[in-house]
Chain A
Amino acid sequence: MEEVLKATGLTKRYHGNPALDGLNLELPAGKIIGLLGPNGSGKTTFIKIAAGLLTPTAGEVTICGEKIGPKSKALVSYLPDRTCFSKQRKVTELLDFFGDFYTDFDRQRAEQMLTALGIDPDARFRTLSKGTQEKVQLVLTMSRRARLYLLDEPIGGVDPAARDYILNTIINNYDPSATVLISTHLISDVERVLDEFLFLYQGKVIQKGEADAVREETGKSLDELFREVFKCLPNC
């Protein structure tokens, strides 16, 4: 199967401290994959490199065979772990902005989702609660017809009911040619939507596999496996 993302020997150092340490990774098409790891394991660094926001110290990432650049960015829809929009804008203006910026943006879809969430498109972004801001951002991210969705902590700041909605949004937008990478440490909330998982630790993939295979072989949930794996490791 053609891989959507391929990372080889990916290394990123911040002032000499390695955040990613020779990471090798391939993400197949049509999967929902959990990027799981304790704080500081390199999840956000990896996602930012794949989204083209950071340059690696060494190694390479390709998206559908393209090196990171304008072409790869057109294929990737990235949800940052914090708000990146101008707070003075109205929600409709953000829709205009996405429509101008991304040719694969499906405005109708975004409007439908906003209506379903009861978000007023004429509201200014700054007047919305933090959770609602995150929802708007997710709606915009998922309304692109991208090949790779990089979601950095999509459920971190929202209540459990909104978490369900967000996970449903991810499921409902499922497209067999696209892959969704979700970084989180709220594993029990996301694990039933995951096909596969990657455990990241000190900038390396230390374990990966299929979620249902883990349950079948070990009788453990991913959450339990995570607690077990990372309990034995120092500094986390």
Chain B
Amino acid sequence: MNWKFSGDRPVYQQIMENIRGAVLRGELPPGGKIPSVRDLAAAAQVNPNTMQRAMTELEREGLLVGGGTSGRTVTENPEVLEEMKERILEELARECAEKFMVFGITPSQAARLLLELDKEKEES
């Protein structure tokens, strides 16, 4: 996992985004074990209390389950994962659309380009 933090947003939120990303990319598969808070905090070089907070919040979201002595795992509930993916996609799309609008680009113009990029990637 790539742990990089910007100073102007709460660190626990940035950790949550990182974990969500790792799950969606498949680095942390459904049912996969999550390292201990202490190990994660050491790897990310953040305060264990902050890591604990991020884990608790992810548990509340339903992305992580467990949290007892046997440790946490990624949920195997496909609905939770699907819902999260949808939510992130929507958020990102809205953010992108706003940025495009700053330069007078409409979302449909942008979408055309995105499809082309997608094709290029497939070909290479």
Contacts and interface: CB of A to CB of B under 8 A. Distances in A.
B10 A216 contact: yes
B49 interface: yes
Contact of B47 (A171, A221, A223): A171
Interface string A199-219: 000000000000111011001
B7 A222 contact: yes
A215 B49 contact: no
Contact of A168 (B5, B12, B42, B50): B42
Interface in B98-115: none
B41 interface: yes
Given A174-B48, A193-B47, A195-B50, A212 B10 contact: yes
A171 B10 contact: no
A32 B46 CA distance: 11
Contacts of B53: 212
Interface residues of A, number: 26
A195 B53 CA distance: 11
B94 interface: no
A171 B45 contact: yes
A96 interface: no
A81 interface: no
A191 interface: yes
Given A32-B47, A171-B47, A212-B50, A192 B42 contact: no
Interface in A155-175: 164, 167-168, 171-172, 174
Interface of A: 30-32, 164, 167-168, 171-172, 174, 188, 191-195, 211-213, 215-216, 219-224
Interface of B: 5-13, 38, 41-42, 45-50, 53
28 contacts: A31-B49, A168-B42, A171-B42, A171-B47, A171-B48, A172-B42, A174-B48, A191-B7, A192-B7, A192-B46, A192-B50, A193-B45, A193-B46, A195-B47, A195-B49, A195-B50, A211-B11, A212-B11, A212-B53, A215-B8, A215-B11, A216-B10, A216-B13, A219-B9, A220-B8, A221-B8, A222-B7, A224-B8
Q: Closest 8 interchain pairs by CB?
A: A221-B7, A212-B10, A215-B10, A174-B48, A216-B10, A193-B47, A221-B8, A195-B49
